[in-house]
Amino acid sequence: IFVPYPSKDLLIKVSAIKIDSSKAAKVAWSWSTTGVAPYAVGTDAPVPADMLVADTFLIRSELSVSHELMMYLPGLSGTEAKSLTIAREYFFRQRLGTEVACKGC
């Protein structure tokens, strides 16, 4: 049974990625729930090939949460708890304007 994940283990990272005319993708700013920027400004940023368009701006969001999974196999005695991390990464392009600003990043 999956129950709602506790928010204490939820890690969120948000990064702005500026892609220049030569298709070099660099971090413009980043933020995380830890209070520490996860990526340094100006460092290379991974971008999926289909989103690597010259002179554009992307937002990358990453989230992860740990989950305790009870393992039970018929025919075996006992149960075992396994901890796993569920993580996702999403890329977004703004619909209006040319860049997205972050105050306090």
- Tens of each residue's pLDDT in the chain, 105 residues: 345 656 678 899 999 999 999 999 999 999 999 999 999 999 999 999 999 999 999 999 999 988 777 766 676 666 667 778 889 999 999 888 889 999 888
Overall pTM surpassing 0.95 (yes/no)? no
Structure tokens at 7: 């928010």
User: Residue 76: its pLDDT value, please?
Assistant: 61
User: Residue 3: its pLDDT value, please?
Assistant: 56
Contact 40, 105 (CB under 8 A): no
Structure tokens at 71: 């393992």
Handedness of CA 44, 19, 41, 65 (dihedral sign): negative
What are the residue boundaries of the structural domains of the chain, listed by start? 7-93
Query: Other C-beta atoms within 10 Å of 30: how many?
Result: 22
User: Residue 9: its pLDDT value, please?
Assistant: 81
